[in-house]
Chain A
Amino acid sequence: MSDSSPGAVPAGAFSRRALLAAAVAGTAAVAAGCTSSDGDTADAVTPAQVDRLAEQVAVQAALVAAYDRASAGSAEVATEVAVLAAQARAQLERLVAAAPGAAADPTAGPSSAPGDPAGVRALLRAEVGRAAAAHAAACPDFTGARAALLGSIAAGLRGAEGRLA
C-alpha cells in the first residue's frame, strides 16, 4: 500500500478547498465593497458579467419562490422538500453576495402550483432542472470563484432534481 488513500483525496484537496473558500469569501467582500479588487483579475467582472450574474440571481430567486409556493400548496410536499428549499435559499444568498449590486426578488417565479403532491413535485422538478441548466450555461462565462460557485450550484441542483423524480 502506498501512503495515498481515497480518504487522502479530500484531505489533499483541503488546502486548495480552503483557498477556494477564501476566494469565494473574497468575492463576496469585494461585491459588498468591503475591500478593493486590485490584484484579483480572475474575479473581476465586466458590465456584461454583472448583468449575467443578476440574471442568475433572478433564476435562483424564482426557484426559491417556487419552493415557497409548492410548500404552501401541499403540507406533504412542504415536509419532503424542506431541506431542498433551504439549500436553494442558501444558494440564493451566496449568489447575491457574489453579484455586485444584485438583490433577490422573492416575487419572481410561477404564479401558481398544482395542488396534488405529484403535480407539485413535477413542477418543482422542472423548475430545479431549468435553474440548474441556466447556472451551468452561465458558469463558463465566468472565471475564478464565481465560476466555481455557479458550477457548484448547478451541480447541487442536479442532485436535487434527482431527488424530486
Chain B
Amino acid sequence: MADGESTPTSGRTAVGPEEAALQDALAAAHVAVWGYGVVGAALPGTDREPADVALAAHRDVRDEVAGLLDARGVDPVPAEAAYALPFPVLSPVDAAALAVTLEDGVAAAWAWVLDQAGERSTRAWAVVVLADAEVRAVAWRAAAGLTPVTTAFPGLPGS
C-alpha cells in the first residue's frame, strides 16, 4: 500500500494513492485494448502486426494490473462496453494517429503511477511500461506523419 490517505470505496478495501493510480492505468489499458481493435481494422492486413503486438502488450498489462489490484483487495475497474472515437478512423494514417492517442494516454497514466506509487516494485514496473508505450508511440507518430516523432517527457504534462 502506498503512503498517504486512503479513500473508502465500495470495493473490498480502502484505496490508497497507489491503487487509485493503478486503477487509472487499468482504465487506460481497457481503452487501449478496445482502441487497438479499431486501429487494426483500419490497417491493411499486411500492416497489422504492430497493432497486434501492441494489443497483446496492453492486454498483458491490463491483466497484470487487474490481478495486482485484486490481490490487494481492490475491485479492478471494469472496461466500458464501447468507447467513442476522438476522431473518425478512415485510413491507415488515422489509425496511426489513434494509436498515438492511445499510447499517450497510457503513458500519462503510468507516469502518474510513478508519481503516486509507494511500492518500489510498482515504480520499477511502471518505468518499463511507460518506456514500452513511448517506443510504440514513436513508431506510430512516424506512421501518422506527426513531428517530432519523439518526446522529451512522455507522460508528463506538456510533453
- Give residues in A with beta carbon < 8 Å to B: 1-10, 12-13, 16-18, 20-21, 23-24, 41-42, 83-84, 87-88, 90-91, 94, 132, 136, 139-145, 147-156, 158-160, 162-163
Q: Determine the main DSSP class of A at the interface with B.
A: helix
Q: Are B114 and A3 in contact (CB under 8 A)?
A: no
Measuring CB to CB, which residues of chain B are less than 8 angstroms from any residue of chain A? 3-4, 24, 27-28, 31-32, 34-35, 80-87, 98, 101-102, 104-112, 114-115, 117-118, 120-121, 123-124, 126-128, 130-131, 133-135, 137-139, 148-159
Rounded to whole angstroms, the CA-CA distance of A21 and B156 in the bound complex is 7
Is the Cβ of A151 less than 8 Å from the Cβ of B126? yes
Report the Cα distance A143→B2, complex, angstroms.
10
Judging by beta carbons under 8 Å apart, are B153 and A158 in contact? no
Number of contacts between A and B (CB, 8 Å)?
182
Q: Which residues from chain B contact A154 at a C-beta distance below 8 Å?
A: 127, 130-131
On chain A, the residues within 8 Å of B156 by CB distance are 17, 20-21, 24, 148-149, 152
Q: Contact at A147–B83, with CB atoms within 8 Å?
A: no
SS class, residues of chain B in contact with chain A: helix
Q: Is the CB of B153 within 8 A of A20?
A: no
- Considering only CB atoms, which chain A residue lies closest to B36 in the complex? A6
Within 8 Å by CB of A155, from B27, B109, B155, lies B155
* List of B residues within 8 angstroms of A87 by Cβ: 148, 150-152
A9 in contact with B80 (CB, 8 Å): no
Those 10 A-B pairs whose CB atoms lie nearest each other, nearest first: A7-B86, A9-B105, A5-B84, A21-B157, A87-B152, A151-B127, A159-B138, A155-B134, A140-B123, A155-B131
